[in-house]
């Protein structure tokens, strides 16, 4: 059950990273803020990997083209997923993009079949219930659906790309050092973030140099976002090294009810009966997905 606790820990860490990134969007823009996630997270990822290596003891990594290819696919898909989601939000608004992006959950389970992950009936039931619950919670109002065609398509594309990234990172971790999955996962994070940082720095230097300057000027704030981002990525990939992407992604949605509870407690936000019903379905789905791997 270690994978469950890692996936559960990744959600609040990711929320903290998002909160710190939010303040960077104004000056650095969305792509500059995205770069922060990788560039300033890389030093912390290297440190986490070093600690994992010390705890693991003797390591026998198997560097191969399969590992390199899986990392490249995962890292590239993650960048493309972010790009599609940003454009979807701009074209159709946050609500439509969010509900379409939830497609990453069933896609993660389906694409997992390509890397040999065979899920049992309980796991598939958990994935299905969680997906339906998320759709009910985040389904946009009628006035938010106007002109949503392209945004919905991009949101689906984003979900599919995120699902490919999850399975790519899982395949990379399993191929590098199967006897020490946690170290293998952290090493995968390091290589992926190094590649993502290199690609995004080169792209921004060519097309958005002002965003690079803004990122450099906000380095103190960026360090916090980088730390939480590295910790979240290590937890996600650690969970993926121990369990298929579908159940891991399902457990990760506990972030949604936690956020709702915080909103109700701190900001007096009221949940509708539809949201309560959808949240209950998602909770049952998470429980089924977790029990399927117990």
Quickly state the pLDDT bin for 168 (edges 50, 70, 90).
Answer: very high
pLDDT at 43 over 90: yes
Amino acid 229: pLDDT: 86
Residue pair 129/288 in contact by the 8 Å Cβ criterion: yes
Letter string b/e over residues 159-192, b meaning 16 or more CB atoms within 10 A of that residue's CB? bbbbbbbbbbbbbbbbbbbeebbbbbbbbbbbbb
Q: What pTM, to 2 d.p., does this model score?
A: 0.80
Amino acid 275: pLDDT: 63
Quickly state the pLDDT bin for 56 (edges 50, 70, 90).
Answer: confident
Sequential DSSP letters for 189-218: HHHHHHHHHHHHHHHHHHH-HHHHHHHHHT
- What's the rounded mean pLDDT across residues 174-180? 89
Q: What angle is formed at CA 160 by the lines to CA 226 and CA 104, rounded to 5 degrees? A: 70
Residue pair 104/165 in contact by the 8 Å Cβ criterion: no
Task: Give per-residue pLDDT as tens, 17-36.
Answer: 766 765 565 666 777 877 88
What is the sign, positive or negative, of the torsion defined by CA atoms of 70, 286, 5, 260? Answer: positive
**Non-local CB neighbours of 224 within 8 Å, separated by 6+ positions:** 20
Amino acid 267: pLDDT: 45
pLDDT at 11 over 90: no
Residue pair 223/24 in contact by the 8 Å Cβ criterion: no
Give the gyration radius of the chain's Cα atoms.
19
Helices vs strands, H then E, count in the chain: 13, 0
pLDDT at 4 over 90: no
Amino acid 68: pLDDT: 94
Amino acid 266: pLDDT: 45
Most confident of 29-43, 108-122, 198-212, 256-270: 198-212
Q: Among residues 44, 37, 16, which one has the least CA distance to residue 215? A: 37
Residue pair 257/279 in contact by the 8 Å Cβ criterion: yes
How far, in Å, CA of 259 to CA of 98, rounded? 15
What is the sign, positive or negative, of the torsion defined by CA atoms of 49, 55, 59, 65? Answer: negative
Mean pLDDT for the chain? 79
Indicate the range of 6-15, 151-160, 248-257, 284-293 predicted with least confidence.
284-293
pLDDT at 283 over 80: no
């Amino acid at each position: 059950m270690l994978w469950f606790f890692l996936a559960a820990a990744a959600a609040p860490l990711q929320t903290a990273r998002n909160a710190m990134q939010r303040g960077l969007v104004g000056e650095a823009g969305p792509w500059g803020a995205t770069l922060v996630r990788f560039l300033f997270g890389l030093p912390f990822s290297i440190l986490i990997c070093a600690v994992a290596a010390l705890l693991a003891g003797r390591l026998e990594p198997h560097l191969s083209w399969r590992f390199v290819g899986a990392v490249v696919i995962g890292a590239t898909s993650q960048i493309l997923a972010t790009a599609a989601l940003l454009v979807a939000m701009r074209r159709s608004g946050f609500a439509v993009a969010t509900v379409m992006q939830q497609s990453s959950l069933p896609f993660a389970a389906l694409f997992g079949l390509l890397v040999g992950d065979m899920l049992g009936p309980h796991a598939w039931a958990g994935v299905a219930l969680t997906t339906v619950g998320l759709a009910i919670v985040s389904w946009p109002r009628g006035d938010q659906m106007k002109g949503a065609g392209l945004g919905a398509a991009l949101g689906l594309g984003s979900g599919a790309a995120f699902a490919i990234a999850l399975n790519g990172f899982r395949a990379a971790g399993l191929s590098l050092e199967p006897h020490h999955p946690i170290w293998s996962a952290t090493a995968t994070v390091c290589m992926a973030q190094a590649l993502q940082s290199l690609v995004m720095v080169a792209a921004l230097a060519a097309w958005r140099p002002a965003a690079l300057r803004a990122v450099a000027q906000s380095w103190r704030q960026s360090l916090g976002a980088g730390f939480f981002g590295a910790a979240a990525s290590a937890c996600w990939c650690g969970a993926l090294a121990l369990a298929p992407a579908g159940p891991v992604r399902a457990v990760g949605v506990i972030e949604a009810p936690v956020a709702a509870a915080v909103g109700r407690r701190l900001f007096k936000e009221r949940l509708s009966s539809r949201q309560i019903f959808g949240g209950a379905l998602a909770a049952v789905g998470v429980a089924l997905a977790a029990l399927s791997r117990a």
